[in-house]
Amino acid sequence: MSDNRAVVYAGAGKVDVVDVDFPSFTLQDGPGVNPASVGRKCPHGVILKVVSTNICGSDQHMVRGRTTAPEGLVLGHEITGEVIEVGPDVEFVKVGDLCSVPFNIACGRCRNCKEGKTGICLNVNPDRPGAAYGYVDMGGWVGGQAQYIMVPYADWNLLKFPDRDQAMEKILDLTMLSDIFPTGFHGCITAGVGVGSTVYIAGAGPVGLAAAASAQLLGAAVVIVGDLNAARLAQARSFGCETVDVSQGDPKDQIEQLLGVPEVDCGVDAVGFEARGHGHGAATEAPATVLNSLMDITTAGGAIGIPGLYVTGDPGAVDEAAKVGALSLSLGTGWAKSLSLATGQCPVMSYHRSLMMAILHDKVQIAKAVNARPISLEQAPQGYAEFDSGEATKFVLDPHNLISAA
């Protein structure tokens, strides 16, 4: 019996839970690992016993076969865990610390890290700026949907929770700090959300719901969430959002019914490259729909945050251009309206401590907003299937049954 179990991509539409190697402080060869990284030493790393690790919509893109992810890739980039071993170069993080792990891996030493751009670290991926655990083309770092994982540059990356008992009481909220809460918050910040803003968020999946909760935290006057899925729209309404059913037609008309004008101050794309059309085209994939719609409904001089994922390699895309990430955007609309667009990975470290404090001091209930539900690691295939079917749930894997015990 292996000392470690993990969730792996097993081909389009399938994940398996298998025995994998216990992590070490040297990067080993394996599915998705960049050859240039094999043998890389990580004395600055720690080994975590994973307390919680979440299924993300970004993982679903891979599992659907919509990326170039290789079979056998260990999945998972939303990780919270307890330090059980520290590397010889780790100075401040200690065994026993309970910590949140930013999904983007950063060295803390390069120009981008020093400027706070930790989503595009220059030293952690031989192919391009930026890296993440368990994700295609993101440096080949082993994923965290597992019982144990190695986290590099631990003194820089890890966010320690100040009180273990308090953290375990709020673990379903705190587990969202690794990705979707900062990502949704980042989408709102880059869209210019503030006190009194009217906000339209495209997509009522977990990131969209996290963005909606973030907009409320930032003081938005009205938060409108658009989607095709009735259950997810109901989840958005459960914590005070207005909703738009885009299967009924252009969001602009429904927004006008809500606000009296067919536009909002701020737009957030929480859908990404598998977007579908609106109205009668809602059953058809049309990857530029959300971006073009947001440029249409965001007020002149406004901004659009784009935390939704777009990729440069999509073998299942609807046309040859979309297969390499080229979309038919109405850039002229954006230019004419002087809109600002912000894309890319959220720099989690810019936000996670502040959002942790908001959670610990009961200023936000992010687990309730995204309808978090813990399941065992062995139930991961069922969780992926239910999430893919459109269930309005954020599945949190509990590899050691610590959440259940808490």
Query: For residues 14 and 18, what is the distance between their CA atoms, to the nearest angstrom?
Result: 13
Query: For residues 241 and 5, what is the distance between their CA atoms, to the nearest angstrom?
Result: 39
Statement: residue 1 has pLDDT above 50: no
Query: For residues 231 and 204, what is the distance between their CA atoms, to the nearest angstrom?
Result: 9
What percent of the chain has a predicted confidence (pLDDT) above 90? 89
242-287 pLDDT, tens digit each: 999 999 988 999 999 999 999 999 999 999 988 888 987 777 888 8
Helix and strand numbers (H, E) in the chain are 16, 15
Please state whether the predicted TM-score (pTM) of the whole model is above 0.75.
yes
Q: Please give the pLDDT value at position 34.
A: 86
Helices marked H in 64-205: 111-114, 154-157, 164-169, 171-174, 180-190
Tell me the pairing of strands 222-227 and 242-245. parallel
301-326 pLDDT, tens digit each: 999 999 999 988 889 888 898 899 89
Q: What is the mean pLDDT of residues 194-200?
A: 98
Paired tokens of 64:
């659907």
32-53 pLDDT, tens digit each: 888 999 999 999 999 999 999 9
At 2, the pLDDT band (50, 70, 90 cuts) reads: low
DSSP letter (8 states) at residue 137: T
Query: For residues 145 and 334, what is the distance between their CA atoms, to the nearest angstrom?
Result: 39
Statement: residue 391 has pLDDT above 50: yes
Residues of the chain with CATH 3.40.50.720: 180-342
Q: Please give the pLDDT value at position 54.
A: 98
Q: Hey, how many other C-beta atoms are within 10 angstroms of the C-beta on 304?
A: 26
Q: What is the mean pLDDT of residues 171-196?
A: 98
**Region label for 304, one of left (φ > 0), alpha (ψ between -120 and 50) or beta (otherwise):** beta
Q: What is the mean pLDDT of residues 105-134?
A: 97
Statement: residue 150 has pLDDT above 60: yes
Q: Please give the pLDDT value at position 276.
A: 87
Which three-class secondary structure state does DSSP give residue 93?
coil
The domain defined by 180-342 carries CATH number 3.60.20.10:
no
Residues 202 and 270 sit within 8 Å (Cβ to Cβ): yes
What is the rounded average pLDDT for all residues in the chain? 95
Residues of the chain with CATH 3.90.180.10: 5-179+347-405
Query: For residues 312 and 324, what is the distance between their CA atoms, to the nearest angstrom?
Result: 5
Q: What is the mean pLDDT of residues 6-25?
A: 96
Q: What is the mean pLDDT of residues 368-388?
A: 97
Q: CATH number of the domain at 5-179+347-405, out of 3.90.180.10, 3.20.80.10, 3.40.630.70, 3.30.420.10?
A: 3.90.180.10
